[in-house]
Each structure stands twice: as structure tokens, then as C-alpha cells.
């Protein structure tokens, strides 16, 4: 009876996904013509074929599940054919692995087939196809091969999505992407800009993150596409390094490879900033090493975490303590004391590295330390921001809300860890359990509070220390019986298998949904029809080269006409100066977009006094910004509180003193010039301007 229920659950889930994908396919084909209803002959035929094929697959799946013996002869023939094609099956498997990424991200069909149920159906058949090709006889579909196929495809989606913005498009892709590139450039390439020598050029970014993003600027003639390629690489490589550092002790190379990919897939749910992942990888390498090697590694990990974000300073010390105290079975008093002593030494080393590391390096290199301390002080400016506790629950900014989103991201792993510990498959005593649970709860609490701050709560990136701590807990369980248990399918209950599948598959759903072509060649009218969009702009792809060149010409021309009348302020799009798209402009470092919103969320009257004085004095002959408006948002809109702070402290004051000269909607850029004669805006400002 139990097996029948399990089969029924699998079958009904498959039927549900199939039906939803057929409905989505109908919406694509409908309105394509007038052959039958609103079907065209071509798309009507494709829809009928897809529906018929789906029905056949459902019948076939039911046959396999409930009449497995009838399938034996067919199964034998498939296995025989698979063995006959030899090495060619690996070529076919590789092609299947690549196909969804290519089809959805690099062809126009990614626009048409954006429905998640169609994409999941494609994923299911790709996974089954790779599993079928990779399984060794006498099995048709092996459990280990299924997990391997699922891991490979999940990681392919995650990696492909990380590289989705690698283009030579000169304008910002996202709210702050362009200006963040400017931040990275300032450490190694401030010579790219014409900046007055007496100007303070600090940026709102810690030195640790600047180093990671700024290294390519040591290369002469760096292009924006090269920088984006590097930034995409930094969002993948550290995760793989962390996985390798944790699991390289596993016996099989193939297992190390796959579990390393799983670490990438799991941690990218944050996503987590690369410096913290690099610190975690360093801690993983220090684990089980002799103290003479482990102590400097942990110290460096903590120091690097500290200069990357001050809230991370204690994380490496806590992580190494977790790993060391829970990695051994305490058999006697001597081994227990030794383990506790070692964990204490390394944990204390981590704390010392985080707290006193900057001061120590100041003695070694005064310039680097001074820079890091100044930048960290600027980073602490977020401390005065309001807490929006409603972001913890489902909301417009982050659909699931922080609590539910965290639960979805971590429940499969937590379930497996609890099961392994409760069933004694993971040998761990009560003290070791507390040594894991207490830090995880602390990290979870910190993540919840940080996510509730205004400006946060849009994803799970503030759960970074908690996610990494869970990953370390998973590694501990893996080495102490969990790995062997997971790879052996026969004793696994059905629900265990489903949890393992969800552990690998759930994190990949979001990147699978987001795979999308950035640009297409030629006419897009047919895509508008099939994707059921109102117009070409709603396809949300990058503009063509003609529009890009036109936008650059307009900006440069307006700068040439106005630069003799005053300073040019790039609130946004500073990367245009970084890579020479716009030339002959003196950079005004202050009043950068991210700094403005940060101070607006803090209601920093002292900061904005200077800004408003410059606006009133019409210091700037031209301002380059995102399109500004004065519409406040009610609760229920994405980042409503942040938008309203921006409107109140930035948009309204600028639009009182300046008027919209040019708005380039395709690239999200607005050029503003002073209103003449200068209006009296004193009653419309959040703060009074003192003479």
C-alpha cells in the first residue's frame, strides 16, 4: 500500500506539470493566426503535436510505474542499444546538458517559452535522457546517475545565469550595476578619470570587495565586456573553490566533482558576495590541517572577511569552531580535551583576525590599512536605517518573504541533517549538536535583522553566514556516514529520495526561470505575438546597436553643449567614463547614486544640506541620472519604502531646481539642465538650507 501511495504522488505531480505546460503552450499558440480559431496552421499543429506527445508520455509513465514487468523486454532492448552506441552516448549526454541553456538563453525561443512549467518539463526530459545514457547495465535508470544528472543540469542553469549579463552593452544592466563597476575601478584605475587633486574620492564599498571586482583594471585597455566576464567568474569560482576545499577528501573524483557543483547550486540561493565565500573556502582548507598551517589560514580568512564587510568579522572563527568541534567522535577524555582545545584555539584565532587584523596590517602596510578602515567606516553608515519587519513575510519586494524563502532554501538540507542525526547515521553527541545549532541560530538571527533593514529584503543574500554554516554542517554529516547513505539507493525510504531530489533541484528553479536572451537580431514582431506581449519594449531585451549609438551621441552632445557652464554630475552611468564611451568630462565623485539612496534611507539631513546647496547654486550644468519622477508608492509595490525615500530626498529636490532635457527610455537615462531663473525651492526640501 505504501508503495502505491508513493507511485501515485509521483504520477500526479508529473500529470500536474504536464497539464500546466500544455495550458502554457496553448497560450503561446493562440492568437498566432486564423486557421482554427486563433491558431495558425503551423502553431496549431505544433500545439496538437505537443499535447499528443505529452499524453503519450503520461500513459507511458503510468505503464512503467504500475506495470513494470511488462516493460522488462523493452527495457532490455533500450539497454542493449545504449551499449551498442558506445562513446557516442556521452556526446549525446553532453548535447542534452547544453541544449536547455543554449535554447533558453541564446536563442529567441527563450522569450517564447518563458513559462516555468514548460521549462520544468524540458528539464525533466533532459535529466531522464542524461540518466538513461549514463547508467551502467543491468539498470536502465540508476539512482546515482539520476542525482548526477540532476546536479549537472542544476549547476548548468546556475552558471549560465551568472554569465547572462556578459555583453559589451555600455549602459547599466540593473539599478546600480554600472556605478558598481565604477566603484571597482577606483582602487587600481583612478587614473582613468579627470578628478581634481583636492577631491575626496572614497566609494561606498569595502576594500575587500573592491579588490575582487577591481583586479581586471590592472589590465591596460580593459573593456566593459571583459570586466563583466570577470565579475561573472567571481560569482562562480569562489563557490566551486569552497566546495572543493570541503569535499576533496572524498575518495571518488566524480563524487568530488558533483558535490562541489552542489555547493555552488546551494550557496547561490543567497546569492552570497564572493569575498565571504573566499573566506569560507579558506576556512575549509584550514579544517583538519596542522595548527601551524590552520592558524594563519583562519587569521587571514577573518581579516579578509572583516575588510570586506564588518558584520562578517566573527564568521570564520565561528565556522572553524563548528567544523573542529563536530568532526570527530569523542571516545575518551584525552581526545575530547584535545578536540575542544583545538577548536578553541582556532576559533579564538578567527576572532583575533577579525577584530585586530586591520590594526596588525596597519603596522605592515599603513596605506592599505588606512584605506580599508576608512572604507569600512563608510560602510557602517547603514546602521541608522529603519527596520521593515513586514519584509520577513510574503511581499511585493520579495514574493516569498525572507522567512518562507529561507525555509524553502534550507528545509531539504535541514530535514536530511535532522534525520541522519536522529537515526544515528551521523554519529554526533549532544555537545557537538549544540556546537552546531547555537551558531546557526545566531547567524539566522543576524540574517533576519539585516534582511529587515530598509534597502534589504529583496533576496536571501543577508542569510549568507547562515547558508554557509549549513553547508559546513552538511559536510560534517557527509564525512560521518551521510555520504555513503545518500549514494546507496536501496535502503533509502521514498521520502528520503524526494528530499534529496529537492535539495538539488529547488535551488535551480530560479535560475531556470531567469534564463533569457539579452538581444536578438532582426525583427521582433513575431516574438511579441508569440510571447503575448503588448509591444517590443515589453520583451525587456537590450536595445539594438543603432539605439545604443544614438544614446551615446545624445549624451556626449549634451555634455559638449553644457560643460562650459558648470560641472557635469554623473549620478548614474559612471561606467561610461570608466571605459571611455564619454570623454572630456571632469568627474564629480560626490552625490553618487548608491550614496544618495543610502543617505536618503537614513534621513541624513547633514549630508543633503550640501547637496541642496549645490542644486540651488546650479553648480551642475548637466545631471545624468535614471529617469526621475515624483510619484510615491503605496505599500505593496517593489521596494516601496526605498522608492519613497528616493522621491522625497533626491527626485523632488532635483526636479524643483532642474528640468528634464532629454529622456532616453531605451537605456533608462535622463539628462537634466538647470531651470532659469532659479526657482525658490526652500519650502519643498526635506531640510532647510542654511545660508
d(CA 380, CA 370): 16
Query: Residue 620 in contact with residue 571, Cβ under 8 Å?
Result: no
Q: Give exposure, 447-474, as e/b (b: 16+ Cβ within 10 Å).
A: bbebbbbbbbbbbbbbbbbbbbbbbbbb
Q: How far is CA 387 from CA 312, 398, 400, in A?
A: 20, 15, 18
Dihedral in degrees, nearest 10, Cα atoms 53, 59, 64, 66: 170
Q: How confident is the model at residue 372 (pLDDT cuts 50, 70, 90)?
A: very low
Query: Residue 454 in contact with residue 385, Cβ under 8 Å?
Result: yes
Is the CA virtual torsion 191, 193, 197, 199 positive or negative? negative
In terms of Cα–Cα distance, which of 26, 25, 42, 24 is closest to 34?
A: 42
pLDDT above 50: residue 381: no
Average of pLDDT values for 344-365?
Answer: 84
d(CA 73, CA 83): 16
Report pLDDT digits (tens) over 390-411. 889 898 888 899 999 999 999 9
- What pLDDT shows up at residue 633? 74
* HEC letters along 408-471: HHHHHHHHHHHHHHHCCCCCCCHHHHHHHHHHHHHHHHHHHHHHHECCCCCCCHHHHHHHHHHH
* Element of type H or E holding 505: helix 494-514
pLDDT above 50: residue 578: yes
- What pLDDT shows up at residue 365? 63
Q: How confident is the model at residue 214 (pLDDT cuts 50, 70, 90)?
A: very high
Distance separating the N- and C-terminal Cα atoms of the chain: 84
pLDDT above 50: residue 370: no
Report pLDDT digits (tens) over 399-455. 899 999 999 999 999 999 999 988 888 888 888 899 999 999 999 999 999 998 888
pLDDT above 80: residue 350: yes
Report pLDDT digits (tens) over 33-54. 778 778 888 888 999 999 999 9
Angle between helices 605-616 and 593-601 in degrees, nearest 10? 130
Residue located via cell numbers 541533517: 417
Report pLDDT digits (tens) over 525-570. 777 777 777 777 777 788 888 999 999 999 999 999 998 999 999 9
Q: Give exposure, 299-324, as e/b (b: 16+ Cβ within 10 Å).
A: bbbbbbbbbbbbbbbbbbbbbbbbbb
Is the CA virtual torsion 461, 463, 468, 474 positive or negative? negative
Is the CA virtual torsion 32, 37, 43, 47 positive or negative? positive
Phi, psi at residue 600, to the nearest 5°? -65, -40
Instruction: Kindly give, in sequence order, each residue whose CB lies less than 8 Å from that of residue 192, ignoring residues fewer than 6 positions away.
Output: 185, 217, 577, 578, 580
d(CA 502, CA 31): 37
Query: Residue 542 in contact with residue 137, Cβ under 8 Å?
Result: no
Task: Count CB atoms within 10 A of the CB of residue 9.
Answer: 13
d(CA 382, CA 376): 11
- What pLDDT shows up at residue 125? 94
Chain centre distance of CA 439: 24
Query: Residue 47 in contact with residue 39, Cβ under 8 Å?
Result: yes
Enter the C-alpha cell of residue 558: 549634451
Give the Cα-Cα-Cα angle 654, 659, 664 (nearest 5 degrees).
100
Q: Give exposure, 354-365, as e/b (b: 16+ Cβ within 10 Å).
A: beebbeeeeeee
pLDDT above 60: residue 378: no
Q: How confident is the model at residue 487 (pLDDT cuts 50, 70, 90)?
A: low
d(CA 564, CA 622): 10
Average of pLDDT values for 51-60?
Answer: 90
Percent of the chain, pLDDT > 90? Answer: 58
Phi, psi at residue 256, to the nearest 5°? -60, -45
Residue located via cell numbers 500536474: 16
Average of pLDDT values for 593-601?
Answer: 93
Average of pLDDT values for 463-492?
Answer: 85
Q: Which residue has the higher pLDDT, 458 or 259?
A: 259
- What pLDDT shows up at residue 691? 56
d(CA 150, CA 48): 29
* Element of type H or E holding 292: helix 291-308
Instruction: Kindly give, in sequence order, each residue whose CB lies less than 8 Å from that of residue 44, ignoring residues fewer than 6 positions away.
Output: 29, 32, 33, 35, 36
Task: Count CB atoms within 10 A of the CB of residue 134.
Answer: 19
Average of pLDDT values for 62-81?
Answer: 80
Q: How many CA atoms lie within 13 A of 650 on its CB side?
A: 26
Residue located via cell numbers 515589453: 538
Supply the pTM of this predicted model. Answer: 0.92
Q: How many CA atoms lie within 13 A of 22 on its CB side?
A: 17
- What pLDDT shows up at residue 376? 38
Amino acid at each position: 500500500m505504501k508503495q502505491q501511495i508513493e507511485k501515485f504522488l509521483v504520477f500526479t505531480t508529473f500529470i500536474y506539470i504536464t497539464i500546466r505546460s500544455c495550458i502554457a503552450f496553448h497560450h503561446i499558440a493562440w492568437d498566432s493566426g486564423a486557421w482554427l480559431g486563433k491558431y495558425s496552421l503551423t502553431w496549431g499543429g505544433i500545439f496538437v503535436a505537443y499535447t499528443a506527445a505529452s499524453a503519450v508520455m503520461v500513459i507511458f509513465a503510468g505503464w512503467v510505474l504500475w506495470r513494470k514487468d511488462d516493460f522488462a523486454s523493452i527495457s532490455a532492448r533500450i539497454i542493449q542499444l545504449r551499449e551498442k552506441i558506445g562513446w557516442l552516448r556521452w556526446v549525446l549526454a553532453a548535447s542534452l546538458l547544453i541544449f536547455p541553456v543554449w535554447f533558453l538563453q541564446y536563442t529567441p525561443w527563450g522569450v517564447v517559452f518563458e513559462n516555468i512549467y514548460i521549462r520544468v518539463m524540458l528539464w525533466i526530459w533532459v535529466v531522464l535522457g542524461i540518466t538513461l545514457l549514463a547508467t551502467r547495465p543491468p539498470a536502465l535508470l540508476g539512482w546515482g546517475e539520476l542525482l548526477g544528472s540532476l546536479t549537472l543540469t542544476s549547476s548548468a542553469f546556475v552558471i549560465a545565469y551568472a554569465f547572462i549579463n556578459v555583453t559589451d552593452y555600455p549602459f547599466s544592466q540593473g539599478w546600480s550595476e554600472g556605478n558598481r563597476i565604477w566603484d571597482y575601478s577606483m582602487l587600481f584605475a583612478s587614473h582613468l578619470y579627470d578628478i581634481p587633486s583636492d577631491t575626496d574620492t572614497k566609494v561606498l564599498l569595502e576594500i575587500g570587495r573592491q579588490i575582487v571586482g577591481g583586479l581586471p583594471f590592472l589590465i591596460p585597455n580593459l573593456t566593459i565586456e571583459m570586466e563583466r566576464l570577470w565579475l561573472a567568474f567571481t560569482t562562480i569560482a569562489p563557490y566551486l573553490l569552497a566546495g572543493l576545499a570541503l569535499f576533496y577528501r572524498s575518495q571518488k573524483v566524480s563524487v568530488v566533482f558533483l558535490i562541489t557543483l552542489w555547493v555552488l547550486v546551494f550557496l547561490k540561493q543567497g546569492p552570497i558576495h564572493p569575498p565571504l565565500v573566499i573566506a569560507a573556502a579558506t576556512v575549509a582548507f584550514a579544517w583538519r590541517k596542522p595548527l601551524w598551517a590552520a592558524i594563519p589560514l583562519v587569521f587571514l580568512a577573518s581579516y579578509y572577511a572583516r575588510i570586506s564587510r564588518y558584520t562578517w568579522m566573527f564568521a570564520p572563527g565561528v565556522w572553524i569552531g563548528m567544523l573542529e568541534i563536530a568532526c570527530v567522535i569523542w571516545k575518551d577524555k584525552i581526545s575530547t580535551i584535545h578536540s575542544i582545545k583545538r577548536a578553541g584555539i582556532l576559533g579564538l584565532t578567527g576572532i583575533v583576525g577579525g577584530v585586530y587584523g586591520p590594526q596588525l596590517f596597519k603596522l605592515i602596510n599603513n596605506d592599505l590599512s588606512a584605506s580599508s578602515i576608512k572604507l569600512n567606516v563608510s560602510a557602517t553608515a547603514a546602521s541608522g536605517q529603519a527596520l521593515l519587519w513586514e519584509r520577513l513575510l510574503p511581499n511585493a519586494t520579495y514574493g516569498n518573504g525572507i522567512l518562507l524563502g529561507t525555509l524553502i532554501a534550507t528545509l531539504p538540507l535541514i530535514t536530511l541533517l535532522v534525520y541522519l542525526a536522529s537515526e544515528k547515521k551521523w554519529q554526533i553527541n549532544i555537545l557537538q549538536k549544540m556546537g552546531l545549532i547555537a551558531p546557526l541560530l545566531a547567524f539566522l538571527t543576524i540574517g533576519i535583522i539585516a534582511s529587515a533593514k530598509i534597502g534589504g529584503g529583496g533576496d536571501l543574500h543577508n542569510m549568507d553566514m547562515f547558508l554557509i554554516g549549513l553547508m559546513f554542517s552538511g559536510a560534517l554529516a557527509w564525512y560521518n556516514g551521510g555520504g555513503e547513505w545518500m549514494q546507496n539507493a536501496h535502503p533509502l525510504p521514498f521520502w528520503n529520495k524526494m528530499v534529496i531530489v529537492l535539495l538539488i533541484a529547488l535551488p535551480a528553479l530560479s535560475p531556470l526561470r531567469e534564463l533569457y536572451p539579452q538581444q536578438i537580431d532582426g525583427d521582433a514582431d513575431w516574438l511579441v505575438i508569440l510571447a503575448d506581449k503588448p509591444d517590443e519594449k515589453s520583451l525587456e531585451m537590450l536595445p539594438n546597436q543603432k539605439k545604443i549609438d544614438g544614446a551615446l551621441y545624445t549624451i556626449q552632445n549634451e555634455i559638449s553643449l553644457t560643460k562650459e557652464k558648470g560641472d557635469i554630475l554623473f549620478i548614474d552611468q559612471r561606467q561610461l567614463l570608466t571605459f571611455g564611451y564619454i570623454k572630456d568630462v571632469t568627474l564629480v565623485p560626490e552625490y553618487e547614486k548608491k550614496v544618495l539612496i543610502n543617505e536618503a534611507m537614513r534621513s541624513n539631513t547633514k549630508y543633503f544640506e550640501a547637496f541642496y546647496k549645490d542644486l540651488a547654486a546650479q553648480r551642475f550644468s548637466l545631471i545624468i541620472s535614471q529617469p526621475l519622477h515624483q510619484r510615491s508608492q503605496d505599500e505593496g509595490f517593489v521596494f516601496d519604502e526605498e522608492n519613497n525615500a528616493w522621491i522625497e530626498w533626491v527626485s523632488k529636490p532635483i526636479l524643483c531646481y532642474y528640468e528634464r532635457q532629454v529622456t532616453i527610455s531605451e537605456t533608462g537615462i535622463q539628462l537634466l539642465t538647470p531651470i532659469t531663473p532659479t526657482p525658490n525651492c526652500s519650502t519643498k526640501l526635506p531640510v532647510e538650507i542654511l545660508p
